[in-house]
Amino acid sequence: MIYLLLAIFLVVVYDRIRYKTSIFRQIPGPRSWPLIGNTWSFISTPDQLFPHLRYIHRTYGNFSQVHSINYHAVNLYNPEDLEKILSSTTYNEKRRPYTFIKSWLGEGLLTSNGEKWHQRRKLLTSAFHFNILKKYAMIFTEQTERFLAVIEDELDKDKTDIVPLITNATLHIMCETAMGTSITSTIKSVVNKYFQASNDYIYCVVQRMCRIWLYFDYVFIFTKMFWDQRRAVAELHKFTTKIIEERKASKQECIFTDLDDDVGMNKKGKLPMLDLLLEKEKKGEIDLRGVREEVDTFMFEGHDTTARALTFFIMSIANESRVQEKIYEEMENIFGDSDRSATMEDLNSMKYLECCIKESLRLYPSVPFIARNVPKDTVLSGYTIPANTICHIFVFDLHRRADIYPEPEKFVPERFLPENAHKRHPFAYLPFSAGPRNCIGQRFAMLEMKTMVSGLIRKYRLEAVTRAEDLVFTVDLVLRTNHPIYVKFHKRT
């Protein structure tokens, strides 16, 4: 018995004198235990963990810490801290939890670091050039028409679960734009398996994030979760491999070759993303595995995040009749009685709609959490943070700070009028992250959302079914709820 007590005493003393732990105990945060830190409070279901993370912010303020065994993290909510971390290449590195998704996304743009990230970012930037986006706008319009035709079949229903409809539309858009490939019969056969495999994989990642002992690979590989994840990865890679193979096998000319000569699309290498990657693969600048890494990354980031953003936006304006009518008035001012499709000039004229989208992204950021590694001792909020600490950036909580956004739960698009937005700290709003590692496709996403929403509002009136207070969020890689989100559609006359 005496040896057991001695062992416990030594563990307590060791924990207290450890350099990192001794520093972390000076920072506000939840009660922790020797050695295991805050482990127990994070072992819960994803929908229980989401409010717990909000509780930490409410209770311990705008700078706090959590730690466990060899994992130490600070939670950031201050724009000044966020500017320091996100605006500098010094803090570009991503470690956990991004390492947990490398079996799916490999060393793609989301997860890579250092020179590899820099090379991939430089390579892919031209795939989202303004002239490429102008051509994508045609596809946005075509897919919006298909989406509206699907909504037509929902008019007689009391409520419609909008998540699968929007997710299907954004997947088609991503395939036909960045990938330059329609969802053919061979690809369509694995689409449902892709969605299921994606959900299964993310479930495993979230479970792993909440259990500190699974952070060690040599423990994780002996769990059922590891094998479930492997099966999911096989299906996910099967889908993207089919997309790559079909694009490589296609003998059709690139859909962008009809551009005017002054654009110089082919001369300057401004190609759709997958075509650009395949050109680089031919030249030996990237291998086929690297191509698949980026296709996997953009299929996940490009369609799922936009689908979430559109889902919450449509739900929001269904609940805000005043806002919905103001959007409709803006559409009438732009289009009059015409039923023509929106041009790039029209989309750029939709200033109020853009404010509404930004406000929806404030309340419901598609990526509610990002993380960065601190490679050296750094001062944040007056505390010296030891090297190799992880910075947790909770975008969801940042966007709901009452001192930055008065009455933060209210949907107020006017917050983003130029005269109001310029008063806020530039790092107080991060729906697309910020700095060198900001979202490369944010202009793409905004144009896609404007096209789909403007088409929807011109043709249908939205009636609320699911309310904001009904939402039960769950911890995930993107912002998700544990129940469907319903809206009722009415045809405008």
Residue 144 included in any domain: yes
Say how far apart CA 175 and CA 450 lie, in whole Å: 19
Residue 93 included in any domain: no
State the residue for tokens 């997710």: 167
Residue 203 lies in domain: 100-362+408-491
Between residues 40 and 492, the one the model is more confident about: 492
Q: What is the pLDDT of residue 418?
A: 92
- Average pLDDT estimate for 77-104: 91
Average pLDDT taken over every residue of the chain: 86
Residue 324 included in any domain: yes
The token pair at 213 is 């002992």
Q: Which percentage of the chain shows pLDDT scores above 90?
A: 46
Of residues 200, 205, 414, the one with CA closest to residue 326: 414
Tens-place pLDDT, residues 213-245: 888 888 899 999 999 999 999 999 988 888 888
> How many separate domains does the chain show?
1
- The CA–CA distances, whole Å, from 236 to 191, 203, 394 equal 9, 14, 28
* CATH code for the domain in which residue 330 is found: 1.10.630.10
- Average pLDDT estimate for 384-396: 91
Residue 382 included in any domain: no
Classified as helix, coil or strand, 390 is strand
Between residues 435 and 260, the one the model is more confident about: 435
Q: What is the pLDDT of residue 367?
A: 94
CB half-sphere exposure, 365, CA atoms < 13 A? 23
Tens-place pLDDT, residues 334-347: 998 888 888 889 99
pLDDT tier, 249 (very low <50, low <70, confident <90, very high otherwise)? confident
* 473 strand-pairing partners: 481
Say how far apart CA 191 and CA 400 lie, in whole Å: 36
- Average pLDDT estimate for 424-444: 92
Q: What is the pLDDT of residue 213?
A: 84
Q: Which helix (H) or strand (E) holds 486?
A: strand 486-491
pLDDT tier, 152 (very low <50, low <70, confident <90, very high otherwise)? very high
Phi, psi (degrees; rounded to nearest 5) at 320: -120, 85
Say how far apart CA 111 and CA 97 lie, in whole Å: 10
Say how far apart CA 446 and CA 449 lie, in whole Å: 5
The reported pTM is 0.89
Residue 454 included in any domain: yes
Say how far apart CA 92 and CA 277 lie, in whole Å: 24
Show Cβ contacts of residue 4 under 8 Å, excluding neighbours closer than 6 positions.
none
- Average pLDDT estimate for 81-87: 94
Tens-place pLDDT, residues 6-54: 566 555 555 554 666 677 778 887 887 766 777 777 777 888 889 989 9
Say how far apart CA 236 and CA 101 lie, in whole Å: 12
Of residues 194, 173, 441, 429, the one with CA closest to residue 307: 173
Between residues 362 and 171, the one the model is more confident about: 362
Classified as helix, coil or strand, 67 is strand
Q: Which helix (H) or strand (E) holds 327?
A: helix 321-335
- The CA–CA distances, whole Å, from 176 to 275, 408, 484 equal 12, 37, 27
> Is 64:75 a contact under the CB 8 Å cutoff?
yes
Phi, psi (degrees; rounded to nearest 5) at 433: 60, -160
pLDDT tier, 318 (very low <50, low <70, confident <90, very high otherwise)? very high
Residue 444 included in any domain: yes
473 C-beta neighbours (distance < 10 Å), count? 19
Residue 29 included in any domain: no
